[in-house]
Amino acid sequence: IGRQFSTSISKQNAIKNVTVIGGGLMGSGIAQVAAQAGQSVTLVDVSSDVLAKSQKSIGANLGRVAKKLYKDKPEDGEKFVAEALGRIKTATDPGEASKSADLIVEAIVENMDVKHKLFKQLDSAAPAHTILASNTSSLSINEIGSVVKRKDKFGGLHFFNPVPVMRLLEVVKGAETSEDTYKSMMEWGKAVGKTCITCKDTPGFVVNRLLVPYICEAMRLYERGDASARDIDIAMKLGAGYPMGPLELADYVGLDTNKFILDGWHKKFPDQPLFKPIPLLNKLVAEGKLGVKTGEGIYKYD
């Protein structure tokens, strides 16, 4: 059955050209895994400085992958990196970059108005067969897709940070996502090396609905002084087998992202105690202490 499913989709709707919008942390990872899998990628950002940085970090991360894959054949590793990089074009105009895309994955700032503006533009510029998908962490797929005409070809493709390492892809079915679109998204996820799960359009899908309240509970524990940050993190690593403790993970994801998700959910579900604001989180974000990316969050980084 798996083989039949895969053949029928690859014949009809095989995705070969991918446009990724947003060249930040997530977008560059998504571009990398697609290029590694042999696809033609166009990576788009409003800022050419960001694109230059993304290309650099993709090159470095491909190097880590090559080191593992071609341990004893460094020349083959270099070829692998050069070929994958060669499959990634960069651009600053999302409309132009949509014209040859079979799939467009949006990974821009987590803001509904900005995403609406972009998707309206993509919907009118992209060919009729193009699937449009959002990598949103916390916003509603139906709400993001409300501005496009091709609602049957709209859905969620939610990756995890760091994209090249985390093996999961959440494939989100919106209310009007067609079965064909859903199957193509699942098939594409597999083609770029991910294990896919299917989610409904509920807040945080599966992973973030569980992970964000867990991180927030850890912050509340720390804020109350019940244990030190280090001890909370050691506890979850050694007592529950997590690769990172919750506070390390909060800094890694970005405290601004954590706050943004929490605030959005609190506004929508004011009675849910797990979504209540956290004064410590608000204070750190107000001070610009956003975690690893700014050199300080709950912890300090060199």
How many other C-beta atoms lie within 10 A of the C-beta of residue 286?
Answer: 9
As a whole number of angstroms, the distance between CA 279 and CA 63 comes to 41
H or E element in which residue 170 lies = strand 168-173
Using CB under 6 A as the binding rule, the residues of this chain from 48 to 87 that contact ligand NAD are 50
Q: Which residues bind ligand CAA (CB under 6 A)?
A: 61, 64-65, 68, 137, 160-162, 164-166, 208, 211, 243-244, 249, 253, 257
Partner whose binding site includes residue 249, from ligand NAD, ligand CAA, none (CB under 5 to 8 Å by kind): ligand CAA
Q: Which is nearer to ligand CAA, 14 or 109 (CB)?
A: 109
Length of the chain: 302
SS3 of the chain: helix, strand, coil, percent, to 5: 55, 15, 30
Task: Give the helix ranges, DSSP H, for 136-254.
Answer: 141-145, 179-191, 207-223, 229-240, 246-253
21 binds ligand NAD (CB under 6 A): yes
Which positions are annotated as active-site residues?
137, 158, 170, 208
DSSP 194: P
Partner whose binding site includes residue 97, from ligand NAD, ligand CAA, none (CB under 5 to 8 Å by kind): none
Q: Which stretch binds ligand NAD (CB under 6 A): 9-17, 34-42, 109-117, 124-132?
A: 109-117
For 79-153, strand residue ranges (E) read 88-91, 103-106, 131-134
For residue 246, count CB atoms less than 10 angstroms from its CB and return exposed for 0-12, middle for 13-18, buried for 19 or more. Answer: buried
Nearest residue (beta carbon) to ligand CAA: 137
Partner whose binding site includes residue 68, from ligand NAD, ligand CAA, none (CB under 5 to 8 Å by kind): ligand CAA
Q: Which of 9, 18, 31, 107 binds ligand NAD (CB under 6 A)?
A: 107
As a whole number of angstroms, the distance between CA 104 and CA 106 comes to 6
Partner whose binding site includes residue 46, from ligand NAD, ligand CAA, none (CB under 5 to 8 Å by kind): ligand NAD
Using CB under 6 A as the binding rule, the residues of this chain from 207 to 266 that contact ligand NAD are 253-254, 257
Q: Which is nearer to ligand NAD, 160 or 182 (CB)?
A: 160
